[in-house]
Structure 1
Amino acid sequence: MSDSVSENTFLKRLLDDATRPFLGGGRFAYHYARGKLGGDPIFRELLRQGLLPERGRFLDLGCGQGSLFSWLLSARALFEKGHWPTGWPTPPMPDQLRGVELMQKDVERAARAFGVDHPVVRVEQGDMCRTDFGKVDLVTILDALHYFDHAGQEDVLRRIHAALPPGGLFLTRIGDVSAGLPYHISNWVDHVVTFARGHRLPKLYARPLADWRTLLQRVGFEVTSQNMSGEKPFANVMLVCRVPS
């Protein structure tokens, strides 16, 4: 189902479509979405590699203003119109997109982007350390696990594992402390972005990649990893974690 559109042309159109809902939220919401979705390779790779379930209930913890949700909905809409790169797998068509975000300002930006009665998207204010995850098919945490202490990290991961069915998927991205200078650059950028979003700078609880893998395996996940920094000098690693079938 494709009109043989080139990958670059497709990504430009997808970026335009995915960021358009944030125009109503003000200049910051719109430009933040464009910078995040257009400059961060993980969003492209989620689609190119076909990592997400085709259907089901998706839960994004630390979802911000819901940029990932707009990206997925816009991708599906383009696919159904026949605008899809040759060779890319079918994009997901989620039954539910639920986001949990600690910062009320981001929740308000999401409400302006999606409205309050969206048939699929729901973004709520909450703390992932306390929120009931329910039963879901996919959980994502992108660049947020390091905001709370190690005991809290393990508790959240155990509750994620319990919320997923056999074969369920947890996707996260972490900073690899053992990477040295690239990690410190990533850490500095994290602080700058957090400050720009209007939040105070947090204390970070990062780990070496080997420790993240050990923790996730101890919780019960099967784990694979891949670099997810793109061409930037960062230490970002995507962890693909599955509940054994």
Structure 2
Amino acid sequence: MTERFRRILLARAAQPYRASGFFAWNFAKGKLKGDPAFFGLLEHGLIPSAKRLIDLGCGQGLLASWLLEARTLHESGNWPVQWPAAPKIENIWGLELMPKDVERARAALGTRAEFALGDICNTDFGKSDVVVILDVLHYISYEAQEDVLRRIRASLPTGGTFITRIGDAAGGLPFHYSNWVDRAVFFLRGHRLNRIYCRTLQEWLEIFRRYGFTVEPLPMHKGTPFCNIVLIAKAV
């Protein structure tokens, strides 16, 4: 059941990107299949149901498509019995710096989710119940990272959820390899290759607690040579 379900979910979540062009569709298929975070978020039940979820640095909106299709399958009864229920999200809002990615997201998902062009360093997040940032924080300065964390905490109610994925700078060769691949993909998507601002896992945990979160780390690199860790934070 699970392997068949995985194929179905992958196909359904990538399908909308046919409307966004050949590159967007193939990128969606490759990213959703090859990145363990997408299935991991569902298998571990990391994202709760919410009125509003914001995805900062959302790219072409893959997480939104993933969550929407997961919920549709869950409601139809096509869902692995050993997994937690798929989250029901009333509104998904994505923020992305690259205009082309925003265009692809809008073409693919239409009114099923909202996407805005902007920089996470200076855009108002509004109020939310869940915030997600995947593989973005290390591209902004240490000072900007702290400001973003402060503003995320301000956007969440007590008990709200913040999920991000980071690399552990103390992770040795797997950390350096994951950074190299990440930067290559970043370049292919049209971004400039600037300095990156990494921290050790312990440094990340300390800064999260400083800005009003309890936080638990969960390794999220199964099946890859990388050193990626998801941080599941709750606003306190």
User: Structure 2, unaligned stretches of length 5 or more?
Assistant: none
Partners in 2 of 1:153 and 1:54 — Cα distance?
Answer: 26
In 1, Cα distance between equivalents of 2:200 and 2:74: 38
Cα deviation, residue 77, structure 1: 0.8
Q: SS state of the match for residue 92, structure 2? A: strand
Structure 2 matches for 1:61-80, cutoff 5 A?
Answer: 61-80=56-75
2:207 paired residue among 204, 215, 218 = 215
> In structure 1, how many angstroms separate the alpha carbons of the residues matched to 2:45 and 2:224?
23
Structure 1, unaligned stretches of length 5 or more?
1-5
- Is 1:126 the counterpart of 2:127? The answer is no
Alignment of 1:19-38 (within 5 A): 19-38=14-33
**Which of 177, 188, 194 in structure 2 is aligned with 1:196?**
188
Match of 1:238 among 195, 205, 230: 230
By how many angstroms is 1:208 displaced?
0.8
2:83 is the alignment partner of 1:91: no
CA deviation profile, 1:131-162 (whole Å, cap 9, x unmatched): 11111000000000001100000000000001
Identical residues among aligned pairs (%): 51
* C-alpha distance in 1 between matches for 2:160 and 2:50: 12
Summarize deviations over 1:158-199 as a string: whole Å, max 9, x none. 000010001000000001111111111011101110122122
Structure 1 residue 10 corresponds to structure 2 residue 2: no
**Matching of residues 127-146 of structure 1 within 5 Å:** 127-146=119-138
**Greater mean deviation of Cα atoms: 148-157 or 35-44:** 35-44
Per the alignment, residue 183 of structure 1 pairs with 175
Runs of 4+ in 1 over 3 A off after TM superposition: none
**TM-score by structure 2 length?**
0.98
Tell me if the contact between 2:50 and 2:130 (Cα under 8 Å) persists in the aligned partners: no
Residue pair 1:58, 1:98 contacting (<8 A) in 2 also: yes
What corresponds to 2:96 in structure 1?
101
AA partner of residue 195 (structure 1)? F
TM-score, normalised by the number of residues in structure 1:
0.94
Separation in 2, partners of 1:39, 1:109: 20
1:161 maps to: 153
SS of the residue aligned with 1:95?
A: strand
Q: What is the one-letter code of the residue matched to 1:170?
A: F
Amino acid paired to 1:191:
R
Residue 163 (structure 2) aligns with: 171
